[in-house]
Amino acid sequence: MTQRAKNPLRDERDKRLPRIAGPCGLVIFGVTGDLSRKKLMPAIYDLANRGLLPPGFSLVGFARRDWADQDFGQVVYEAVKQHARTPFREAVWDRLSEGFRFVQGSFDDDEAFDTLAATVKELDELRGTSGNHAFYLSIPPGAFPVVTKQLARSGLANPTSADEWRRVVIEKPFGHDLTSARQLNKVVNAVFPEESVFRIDHYLGKETVQNLLALRFANQLFEPIWNANYVDHVQITMAEDIGLGGRAGYYDGIGAARDVIQNHLLQLLALTAMEEPGSFRPHALRTEKIKVLEATKPVEPYGETTARGQYEGGWQGGQKVPGLLQEGGFAKDSSTETYAAITLEVNTRRWAGVPFYLRTGKRLGRRVTEIAVVFKRAPHLPFDDTSTEELGQNALVVRVQPDEGVTLRFGSKVPGNTMEVRDVSMDFSYGHAFTEASPEAYERLILDVLLGEPSLFPVNKEVELSWEILDPVLRHWASNGKPDSYPAGTWGPDSADKMLARDGRHWRRP
């Protein structure tokens, strides 16, 4: 057989082509929930519509509902029509829906899992899924142990040959503290080896988060100033303008810090502060992120370097909205925070002395997630007509959502006869710069699961280090009364402003 001659142009083209998943199927536990309906089902259709799923792909739903396969198919159809990103095409839908199956049962039902095992085996024969199946646990963390044990008992977790794979996908929160996270890791790893465990953090699937890596490591412009010599501080914000609504039962006892800081924001911190990896292979990326998390500590005293709050009723978007304790499902004496802010330090040569301020909250001024790298002021301003009030600090802001892009704030001369300098912004927007539409985060992450590409998924060590960072703050809060209050539509409690004011700084207004 003659070897194909090397063609650099063709090889480069092949690298840019999207990878297509091989024969496989996906089983979703918790298939009746909002996450499945609004994100997972539409993402699966969008992948199929883009030609990234195999022709025989199968989707199995598992829940207590008394549904036939056709009923499940109708639920998926309605979810796709309402929430899919790409246009609906009958030919794509017809081919995809042939692989839909539904299994009724509860998590402790041996017979139901035996039926699921038989269904998966049948799909291997009818759809050619080749024994390759991922199990998506879109369920409360408390159900992880029983489901993983059922997957082991029924044989679903065990490939029958070296050519097959079985993988498990786990949604946050992964534990509620370090001890529970370690216990969950033991339970899951007793059934699935660590390389087969995919812990979903949908923020890591967002285009702009990955663009942060490109911004840092593909451009010589930023590397010389990306350190404590030039950076004054870093602010990482995830703000939501909605309240809890019907999620009170899930949220009470968890709170903003466990829900967002432990996973999303600490992952964003790691990507912002990490050193350049030797390659973008999974092991190299994870190694650098772990180094950052190992060097990260909360700053004491926690009474001055952290803040927490609960939203009260107020006006938002021209409408009057209720406070947290007026919403159903929350105890009147609840100390669960809906706003959390903490100060962290990264004890490395690059970042020593640079505070990282992380904040998240509900019912804030607007929905936005951003990373703001704020630089030190110029040591001298020779402009008589310019004051430090008019000219702020240079800042590089990476907007993760909703208007994905990057903004650079710097000083520029005001037109006229005087030498007056004011802040201006130079803005890059994904929506205007590229004709290609960004895939939804769950599209990218589900495809990575099916491809066995673990770069964007935290491993045991990252999860446990994140809890080590947050646990001391949570213990302090648990023994120091209730959160402060803040009106809906504002940017958090006064204690959060005082937290930065003690350092002579202030929060950015996104």
Can you read off the two tokens belonging to residue 124? 């291997």
The CATH number given to whatever domain includes residue 396 is 3.30.360.10
131, part of any domain: yes
Rounded (to 5) percent helix, strand, coil in the chain? 40, 20, 40
Q: Which pLDDT score is estimated for 380?
A: 60
Task: Sort strands 25-29 and 133-137 into parallel, antiparallel or unpaired.
Answer: parallel
Could you tell me which residue, 320 or 250, shows the higher pLDDT? 320
Residue 287 has pLDDT above 80, yes or no: yes
Same domain? 471 vs 327: yes
| Catalytic residue list contains 264 | yes
Can you read off the two tokens belonging to residue 347? 């004890």
Residue 91 banded pLDDT, cuts 50, 70, 90: very high
Could you tell me which residue, 365 or 281, shows the higher pLDDT? 365
pLDDT over 70, % of the chain: 90
92, part of any domain: yes
7, part of any domain: no
CB 37 within 8 A of CB 83: yes
Q: Which pLDDT score is estimated for 307?
A: 98
Render pLDDT for 151-183 as a digit per residue (tens, 0 to 9).
Answer: 999 999 999 888 999 999 998 778 889 999 999
CA distance 13 to 72: 40
Same domain? 105 vs 237: no
Q: Which pLDDT score is estimated for 420?
A: 72
pLDDT over 90, % of the chain: 63
Structural domain count of the chain: 2
Ranges 195-199, 216-220, 438-442: which has the least confidence: 438-442
Same domain? 413 vs 468: yes
5, part of any domain: no
Q: Where are the alpha helices (DSSP H) in 128-165?
A: 144-153
* Average of per-residue pLDDT across 425-435: 74
Residue 195 has pLDDT above 50, yes or no: yes
Catalytic residue among 202, 264, 283, 432: 264
Exposed/middle/buried for residue 347 (C-beta within 10 Å: 0-12, 13-18, 19+): exposed
Last residue of a domain, one of 171, 194, 216: 171
CA distance 485 to 324: 10
Last residue of a domain, one of 171, 194, 222: 171
Same domain? 286 vs 403: yes
Same domain? 144 vs 215: no
Task: Name residue, tokens 């000083």.
Answer: 411
List Cα–Cα distances, 88 to 42, 85, 98, 342, in angstroms: 10, 9, 16, 44
- Give the global pTM: 0.88
Q: Which pLDDT score is estimated for 385?
A: 56
Could you tell me which residue, 186 or 2, shows the higher pLDDT? 186
409, part of any domain: yes
List Cα–Cα distances, 20 to 24, 170, 289, 444, 453, in angstroms: 11, 23, 28, 12, 12
Q: Which pLDDT score is estimated for 11?
A: 42
191, part of any domain: no
15, part of any domain: no
Same domain? 165 vs 113: yes
Q: Which pLDDT score is estimated for 373?
A: 96
Q: Range of 95's domain?
A: 24-171
Same domain? 113 vs 208: no
Last residue of a domain, one of 119, 149, 171: 171
Same domain? 349 vs 268: yes
The CATH number given to whatever domain includes residue 122 is 3.40.50.720
Same domain? 423 vs 366: yes
* Average of per-residue pLDDT across 408-430: 75
Same domain? 38 vs 125: yes
Could you tell me which residue, 252 or 25, shows the higher pLDDT? 25
Determine the Cα angle at 450 with ends 449 and 455, to 5°.
Answer: 35
Can you read off the two tokens belonging to residue 332? 């009147």
Residue 64 has pLDDT above 70, yes or no: yes
> To the nearest whole number, what is the mean pLDDT of the chain?
88
395, part of any domain: yes
Q: Which pLDDT score is estimated for 13?
A: 39
Residue 437 banded pLDDT, cuts 50, 70, 90: low
- The winner for highest mean pLDDT among 113-122, 197-206, 423-432, 439-448 is 113-122
- N- to C-terminal Cα distance for the chain? 61
Q: Which pLDDT score is estimated for 246?
A: 65
Same domain? 475 vs 330: yes
Same domain? 421 vs 379: yes
Residue 2 has pLDDT above 60, yes or no: no
Residue 331: CB atoms within 10 Å: 11
Please give the helix or strand (H or E) that residue 296 lies within, else none.
strand 296-298
